[in-house]
A and B are shown apart, each in its own frame.
Chain A
Amino acid sequence: MNNDTLEPLNKIKRIPAPGYLLTRIEGALEEVQLLIPKRLIFVYAAIFFVFLSLQIGVFSNSQNNTDIESYANSLGINSSITLYHD
């Protein structure tokens, strides 16, 4: 009986895969490959941002140094860290 129940399934014909499906897959693969440079752009942007924020930090530190320099000058102290002049 069990075989009778499923017997109609034997009548299902095998269908060849349509040719346009390969074109679609190739298109999708190209899209995926185009996504990689976008990811690279994002990574480069992130690195640039980190670099920029470090630069800002250094710049602000150097500004603090000028404050220290003027304070040292007012006290008549040499603020330079070099021991000898060329």
Chain B
Amino acid sequence: MQKKEEFITIYESHKDLVYNVCLNYLQNKEEAEEVFQDVFLKVHAKLNDFNQQSSYKTWIYRICINKCIDYLRAKNRKKRFAFLQSLSNSKLEIHSNFSHPGVLMEDKESMRILFGHINSLPEKQKTAIVLKSIEGLSQKEIAQILTTTEKAVESLLSRARKKLKEKIESSKDDKE
């Protein structure tokens, strides 16, 4: 009973955070809801093991990011089994099912393309960009979530921005 009350308290104070991270990471409402559920089931299962070394917020962010990554890996594995993966894997991965409720209708197309570029980044770089540029976390907070140093986060962000710039410029060149 006490565990249930504790869980509900944690749920109420972190539900919006988890929902928005899932949306920003997956850019699809249905997928975000599925992962959201998995995140809180994990939180419930591991609540007794939580060692208070980090804050609940950091712990939940970590679970959330890991669940999103697991979900995308499983989805990519299924895709690979289904057909031949597109030959230009390193190129733009545009979302065929982009449905982010936080994106305005008029920005939808440009955001879909931008997220396509973000999704083509390596996992850690993408995570750093999502946490920094959308969630607005500090480098220190990101370092705690990714269990790394602030220097490493700074380097991740710098490489991610450089790659994004290159990708956006090359897609502009392709259009011209």
Contact = CB atoms under 8 A, between A and B. Distances in A.
Interface string B94-115: 0000001111100100110010
A39 interface: no
B129 A21 contact: no
Interface residues of A, number: 22
A11 B103 CA distance: 7
Interface in A1-37: 1-2, 5-6, 8-18, 21-22, 24-25, 28-29, 32
Interface residue tally of chain B, by bracket?
20 to 34
Given A5-B164, A9-B114, A15 B41 contact: no
A24 B44 CA distance: 14
14 contacts: A6-B161, A8-B114, A9-B114, A11-B107, A12-B102, A15-B16, A15-B20, A15-B101, A15-B102, A18-B19, A18-B33, A21-B36, A21-B37, A25-B41
